[in-house]
Amino acid sequence: MTIESRLKAQAYGLGFDLAGITTLGPAPTASAFNQWLADGFAGEMHYLERSVELRADSSIPEPGMRTAVVVAMNYGGTQPTGTIARYARSDDYHRVLWDKLDALGAWLTAESGARTRAYVDTGPVLERDLAQRAGLGWFGKNTTLINPKLGSFFFIGALFTDLDLASDAPFDADHCGSCTRCLDACPTHAFTAPRTLDARRCISYLTIELKTAIPLDLRSQMGELIYGCDICQDVCPWNVRFSRDSSDPALTPHPDRVSPDAAELLLLDDAQWRARFGKSAMTRAKRRGLARNAAIALGNRRDEASIPALTHAVQNDPDPLVREHAAWALEQFGAAPAS
């Protein structure tokens, strides 16, 4: 059995659902990524602009690396819909994938003496590009990577190595056809064209990456979503047919992270927020972002039972961003914001 076959077998044994190999080098999507940045579609994600040269060529971030083992891990697309995106309902997925990739790297080092480094959504690497080149799927019209046997509800990770490994064939087919369900379903009309996302209008960006006030014209379109958005994936026929439960206990969703009470989230202080979400990917929004999002959800729900919580936030929240969004929420059902 070849080292490539044994390496993939080891990856599957560690719990990954997909595994492929590709050579590092210039990214075919680099020019499109640069144009996306130039168009301003990244919004406030300025960190992406600081690593353009590194992302353009996957052999640059870690000198001496020659090949990537690209893996995917399903996180449970069959979970019920809720106000928290499915990927964020368990403990932080970064640590789960890193531990498995580190174990895979340790095996490869023991077998061959190879040097390795793991990447999981945090380094200057276009993982989606590598995954397509490693044969794991195609770019859907909603910009996610879609696998014909798994759908798109999966995390992507990569193990870089200085070994010269045989590459898998890239996934060159496009199985979206004439379907536009993902584009049509987006409530904020964030797609300017198939496979082109204006993040500034994307609910996932607005609730997670945006650190300032959410634009007034988009608030009512966000519904009751509090952290992330799965809408464009929910309607994808490949997910409707092929999504499945996660098989890894570490990715088991916390029951209180499907559709938590927005009024309760609005009133959490920093210590309570850290105790409840400190081990999850939801720390990226911080307490102020989550409270801001909860206020918008309550404003769109227009349930008079939430007026006391919103009034308390307007009067007492230490963050002016939260106070402003709570005041907006009160205005949505005619309650004058108290000050």
Say whether 63 sits in a helix, a strand or coil. Answer: coil
Say whether 39 sits in a helix, a strand or coil. Answer: coil
User: Can you say how many angstroms the Cα of residue 243 is from the centroid of all Cα atoms in its chain?
Assistant: 17
Sign of dihedral through CA atoms 296, 298, 302, 304? Answer: negative
Quick check: 264 and 295 in contact, CB under 8 A? Answer: no
Q: Known catalytic residues? A: 121
User: Can you say how many angstroms the Cα of residue 1 is from the centroid of all Cα atoms in its chain?
Assistant: 36
Pairwise CA distance, residues 224 & 239, whole Å = 23
Tally of helices (H runs) and strands (E runs) in the chain: 15, 8
Quick check: 208 and 293 in contact, CB under 8 A? Answer: no
Pairwise CA distance, residues 62 & 68, whole Å = 11
**Cα–Cα distances in angstroms (integers) from residue 201 to residues 7, 228, 241, in the given order:** 41, 12, 28
Pairwise CA distance, residues 130 & 171, whole Å = 11
N-terminal to C-terminal alpha carbon distance within the chain? 71
With 0-12 / 13-18 / 19 or more C-beta atoms within 10 angstroms meaning exposed / middle / buried, residue 168 is middle
- Residues contacting residue 110 through CB under 8 Å, at least 6 positions apart: none
- Name 119's bridge partners: 158
